[in-house]
Amino acid sequence: MKQVFLTFQKHYFQVFSLFAVLIYLAQRLEISLPALANNYLNDFLCMPIVLKICLEVARFIKSDNRLQLPPMLCFTVTLLFAGYFEGYLPIINARYTQDPWDLLCYAAGMCLFFWLERRIRTE
């Protein structure tokens, strides 16, 4: 079981990205999804995906595979995403709606990113 978890930790970016793309495609194709998946899963997966991309870009630029994102930077990125998608876009585009549960999803996703990345470095 531990080996399965370690493998997931190393590949969570690919797994989360695949889920996010599949949900997006299902929505575009008007395939019925469970309400939680349809409304909140991509919001939850957003921050681990975005923060992992930021982390890998920073590691590439700095040439340091041990580099970690500072918690305050992760919090700031999450806050900016939440402000943009939950504050600004609903004002200018009817497709977007304000939902306080989305804020919780962004925050939980950020926490999951921290947990996964810290566990990877300590294993």
What does each of the 123 residues of the chain score in pLDDT, given as a tens digit? 777 877 888 899 999 999 999 999 999 999 999 999 999 999 999 999 999 999 999 999 999 999 999 999 999 999 999 999 999 999 999 888 899 999 999 999 999 999 999 866 555
> Distance of alpha carbon 44 from its chain centroid, rounded?
6
The pair of three-digit structure tokens given for residue 77, joined into one six-digit string: 């990125």
pLDDT reported for residue 4: 80
Question: In this structure, what is the dihedral angle of CA atoms 3, 19, 17, 47, given to the nearest 10 degrees?
Answer: -90
Tell me how long the chain is: 123
Nearest to 20 by CA among 34, 41, 36: 41
pLDDT reported for residue 90: 94
